[in-house]
């Protein structure tokens, strides 16, 4: 049975995630992820990656996010709220264009992110 992470630990992970992105420090972001992590976003096919919208593994994440960072030099996330469950944190933030996004981050027993999903507003 997987252990449950304290809400404070998951909230701290969410804050660290935002800070790492705002520092544009890709390796700091990737350090929060498990080697076998998967990420799903509608931006993945838009940037020419897997048409399914999912990338698998840290190397694929590095390639995808490296391209994304190059395309958005002004990237900045403003944290709005954090929501926690025993094995995940949802980060609600606004990006540099003021668009609100929810990022679902599921963590393993070691506290590393194994699944990420960027959820955008419809319309």
Please tell me whether residue 41 adopts helix, strand or coil conformation. Answer: coil
Reported confidence tier of residue 36, pLDDT bands at 50, 70, 90? very high
**Percent with pLDDT over 70 in the chain:** 98
Q: What is the mean pLDDT of residues 92-119?
A: 97
**Which residue segments constitute the domains of the chain, with CATH numbers given?**
7-120 (3.10.450.50)
Q: What is the pLDDT of residues 42-93, one digit of tens each?
A: 999 999 999 999 999 999 999 999 999 999 999 999 999 999 999 999 999 9
Mean pLDDT of the chain: 94
pTM of the model: 0.93
Q: Collect contacts of 84-90 with beta carbons under 8 A, ≥24 apart.
A: 84/7, 84/10, 84/11, 84/14, 85/10, 86/4, 86/5, 87/2, 87/4, 87/5, 88/10, 89/10, 89/11, 89/13, 89/14, 90/14
- The values of phi and psi at residue 29, to 5°, are -65, -50
Reported confidence tier of residue 115, pLDDT bands at 50, 70, 90? very high
pLDDT at residue number 1: 45
Q: What is the mean pLDDT of residues 14-26?
A: 97
């Amino acid at each position: 049975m997987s252990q449950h992470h304290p809400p404070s630990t998951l909230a701290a992970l969410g804050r660290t995630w935002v800070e790492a992105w705002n520092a544009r420090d890709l390796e700091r972001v990737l350090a929060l992820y498990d080697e076998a992590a998967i990420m799903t976003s509608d931006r993945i096919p838009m940037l020419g990656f897997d048409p399914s919208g999912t990338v698998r593994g840290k190397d694929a994440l590095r390639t995808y996010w490296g391209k994304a960072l190059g395309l958005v030099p002004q990237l900045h996330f403003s944290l709005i709220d954090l929501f926690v469950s025993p094995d995940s944190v949802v980060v609600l933030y606004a990006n540099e264009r003021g668009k609100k996004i929810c990022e679902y981050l599921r963590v393993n027993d070691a506290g590393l992110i194994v699944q990420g999903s960027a959820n955008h507003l419809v319309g």
